[in-house]
């Protein structure tokens, strides 16, 4: 397959969905043939991940449509007048938590398996599916990471991490299954039921922390935690405007919601100022918007001029 033709966020997410479902179905088949609970679980998790990716694709489409000249359905516009940016951190957070939860579950499941005496599996089938998975997962993970350098999408960033996590887990499975295959008829045959759960414990410990950063950022966006860098930038622009036009002061309110930036600026105008035409205030708003990044389609900007300080609080 020629991956170079997949260039947009939407196209890459669709490719990721198709590949995830394909591997999950293939994994379920081989997992049942191998009697491997680990492979079956990994495949079921893949299905869950595919559903989350579909949801991510829907959100990405909604965000793109709402920030362009295309008209989203009237019903959606009526109920989401503030846009769809807030859905992005929710999806990212849920997806990241699922990754963490799946890893924790795998860890607990592996310990339980050891306590029950291990698990006998057919190693040949397990080796085949893990080898196929490694090739596909590494290819997709690296490709998405490279493609995202130009797109800069949080969805693709998390998706790339997810593929590489899957590849690392599959590689660990391959080591375990290959070792078990070669020693199953020898003096070390007693250890084969414990190979899979012990490797799974090791992999789980490695991958559990990986999505933490994404989940942390998603929670910050959901809770409307003010990014210091964005706040500083807005304050610098506002201070320059205050000094340039001799305003009394200003108040700024800033939040990052997914890829969206929500900024509210209140400028306190001296009461002694002469009246200005609305067109003049609009020209000043255009100047401020330009300084803040007018070309950014994900900028939600509100600028208010008032002589009453209470309106800015």
**Over residues 105-110, mean pLDDT:** 84
Tell me the C-alpha distance between 281 and 270, whole Å.
14
The structural architecture, per CATH, of the domain 228-312 is 2-Layer Sandwich (3.30)
The answer on pLDDT for 70 being more than 60 is: no
Lowest average pLDDT, out of 173-177, 259-263, 279-283, goes to 259-263
Per-residue pLDDT of 161-205, as tens digits, reads 878 888 887 887 888 889 888 888 888 888 888 877 887 787 778
Question: How high is the mean pLDDT of the chain?
Answer: 81
pLDDT at residue 31 greater than cutoff 80: yes
From the number of C-beta atoms within 10 Å of its C-beta (0-12, 13-18, 19+), residue 68 rates as: exposed
Query: Which residues make up the CATH 1.20.1510.10 domain(s) of the chain?
Result: 3-222
Residues 78-106 have a mean pLDDT of 78
Q: Residue 220: which H helix or E strand, with range?
A: helix 212-222
Q: What is the DSSP letter of 259?
A: T
pLDDT of residue 79: 65
Collect all residues with Cβ–Cβ distance below 8 Å to 260 and sequence separation of at least 6: 63, 83, 85, 86, 88, 298, 299, 300
Residue carrying the six token digits 């991958």: 207
Q: What is the pTM of this model?
A: 0.68
Beta strands in 61-209 (DSSP E): none
pLDDT at residue number 80: 65
Q: What is the pLDDT of residue 130?
A: 92
Report residue 30's pLDDT band, with 50, 70 and 90 as the boundaries.
very high
Backbone φ and ψ for 309, nearest 5 degrees, come out as -60, -30
Residue 209 pLDDT > 80: yes
Determine the pLDDT at residue 223. 81
What is the average per-residue pLDDT within 213-235? 83
Eight-class DSSP state of 296? -
For residue 127, give Cα distances in angstroms to 23, 56, 173, 175, 190.
14, 32, 8, 9, 19
Give residues with Cβ within 8 angstroms of 279, minimum separation 6: none
Is the per-residue pLDDT at 73 higher than 70? Answer: no
Mean per-residue pLDDT for 52-62?
75
Higher pLDDT, 1 or 232: 232
- Architecture per CATH, domain 3-222, reads as Up-down Bundle (1.20)
Share of the chain above pLDDT 70, in %: 89
Predicted confidence band at 98 (pLDDT cuts at 50, 70, 90)?
confident
pLDDT digits (tens, 9 = 90+) for 225-234: 777 888 888 8
% of the chain beyond a pLDDT of 90: 7
For every residue of 22-82, DSSP letters joined together read: HHHHHHHHHHHHHT-HHHHHHHHHHHHHHHHHHHHHHHHHHHHHHTSSSPPPHHHHHH-TT
| CATH 3.30.70.1350 intervals, the chain | 228-312
């Amino acid at each position: 397959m020629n991956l170079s033709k997949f260039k947009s966020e939407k196209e890459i997410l669709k490719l990721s969905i198709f590949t995830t479902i394909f591997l999950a179905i293939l994994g379920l088949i081989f997992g049942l043939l191998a009697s491997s609970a680990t492979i079956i679980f990994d495949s079921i998790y893949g299905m869950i991940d595919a559903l989350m990716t579909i949801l991510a694709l829907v959100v990405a489409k909604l965000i793109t449509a709402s920030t362009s000249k295309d008209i989203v359905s009237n019903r959606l516009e009526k109920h989401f007048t503030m846009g769809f940016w807030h859905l992005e951190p929710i999806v990212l957070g849920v997806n990241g938590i699922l990754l963490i939860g799946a890893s924790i579950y795998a860890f607990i499941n592996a310990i339980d398996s050891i306590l029950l005496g291990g698990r006998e599996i057919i190693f040949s089938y397990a080796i085949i599916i893990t080898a196929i998975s490694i090739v596909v997962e590494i290819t997709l993970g690296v490709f998405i990471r490279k493609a995202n350098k130009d797109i800069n999408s949080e969805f693709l960033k998390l998706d790339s991490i997810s593929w590489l996590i899957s590849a690392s887990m599959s590689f660990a499975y391959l080591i375990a299954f290959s070792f078990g295959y070669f020693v199953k008829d020898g003096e070390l045959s007693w250890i084969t039921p414990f190979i899979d759960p012990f490797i799974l414990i090791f992999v789980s410990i490695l991958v559990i922390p990986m999505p933490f950063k994404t989940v942390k950022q998603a929670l910050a966006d959901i809770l409307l935690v003010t990014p210091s860098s964005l706040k500083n930038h807005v304050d610098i622009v506002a201070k320059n405007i205050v000094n340039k036009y001799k305003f009394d002061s200003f108040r700024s309110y800033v939040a990052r919601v997914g890829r969206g930036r929500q900024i509210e600026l209140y400028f306190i105008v001296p009461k002694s100022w002469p009246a200005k035409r609305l067109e003049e205030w609009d020209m000043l708003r255009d100047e401020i918007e330009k300084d803040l990044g007018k070309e950014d389609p994900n900028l939600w900007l509100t600028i208010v001029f008032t002589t009453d300080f209470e309106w800015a609080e």
